[in-house]
Amino acid sequence: MRRPPPPPGHYYVWDPGHWKWDGRRYVWVPGHYIHNPHHYVKWIPGHWVERHGGWYWVQGHWRS
């Protein structure tokens, strides 16, 4: 696993790359920095979860 490049400034978090279904195939979405809108929120990276016998992608999101 590679280390991310240095952030572009303060209050940025790294969103790691992931595979995304585009309707026909999976494509790689590279990692990138996201600006933190508030000091009291935390970035939850996107992740796969198993539910009802299938796998579903949960988009990354901010959580307070």
Residue range 18-43, pLDDT digits in tens: 998 899 999 999 999 999 999 899 99
Q: What is the pLDDT of residues 47-60, one digit of tens each?
A: 999 999 999 989 99
Q: Is residue 53 part of a domain?
A: yes
Total structural domains within the chain: 1
Q: Is residue 26 part of a domain?
A: no
What is the reported pLDDT for 58? 95
What is the reported pLDDT for 61? 96
pTM: 0.76
C-alpha to C-alpha distance for 41 and 21, rounded to whole angstroms: 28
Q: Is residue 52 part of a domain?
A: yes
What is the reported pLDDT for 21? 87
- Report CA-CA distances (Å) from 42 to 30, 55, 61: 20, 24, 8
Q: Is residue 3 part of a domain?
A: no
Q: Is residue 60 part of a domain?
A: yes
Q: Is residue 4 part of a domain?
A: no
Q: What is the residue range of 63's domain?
A: 37-64
Query: Which residues are CB-contacts of 32 (< 8 A; sequence separation ≥ 6)?
Result: 14, 15
Q: Is residue 2 part of a domain?
A: no
Q: Is residue 13 part of a domain?
A: no
